[in-house]
Amino acid sequence: MLSQQIIDCLNQQINLEIYSSHLYLQMSSWCAYKSLEGCATFLSQHADEEMTHMRRLLNYLQETGAFAVIDGMQAPPTDFNSLTEMFEKIYGHEKLVTSKINNLVHLANTEPDYATLQFLQWYVAEQHQEEFLFKSILDKIKLIGTEGQGIFFIDREIANMAANRTQETTAMN
């Protein structure tokens, strides 16, 4: 049995994960439009992953007999000045998601709600991985540079990351 405050915060998190998915799908579309196929594939995969994060939360709420509510979504931004700016936005967004997870952990710990606290551990680890992932992409972009053929090599690097991710997912199934 969850408290109303926990239910409300988990519902907010569900909607934030859906927004994350929409944001990355929109960014994937922007990359495809700019002929950055590697980035487009990578971000499309990532949009799918965000929906799996949402479903994990949805299932948890439903298992406890709580009511999950899907909000109307704010439209994600559609235009970016550069690939660097786009990945900086992603990194900033992931840091925001981490702060929301941290707030939820704090709330579950304070109530205390040990089942939710335990459930949220997966998200704590996942957010660490996501921040690390996007920070490493930004580091690569800085290292390679976007001048001249740089953007081509960055896209190829990110295409490799997407291919590795597909292999990992296939191996897990």
Q: What residues make contact with Fe ion under the rule CB under 5 A?
A: 17, 50, 53, 130
Min separation Cβ 150 and Fe ion, Å: 26
Nearer to Fe ion, 131 or 157 (CB): 131
Instruction: In angstroms, give the least distance from the CB of 31 to Fe ion.
Output: 17
How far is residue 97's CA from residue 3's CA, in Å, rounded to a whole number? 22
**Nearer Cβ to Fe ion (17/155):** 17
Instruction: Please say whether the beta carbons of 45 and 133 come within 8 A.
Output: no
Neighbour-count burial of 137, counting CB atoms closer than 10 A to its CB (0-12 exposed, 13-18 middle, 19+ buried): buried
- Report, in Å, the least distance between residue 54 CB and Fe ion: 8
Q: For residue 51, give Cα distances in angstroms to 23, 66, 109.
A: 12, 19, 26
* Nearer Cβ to Fe ion (137/151): 137
Residue nearest to Fe ion (CB): 53
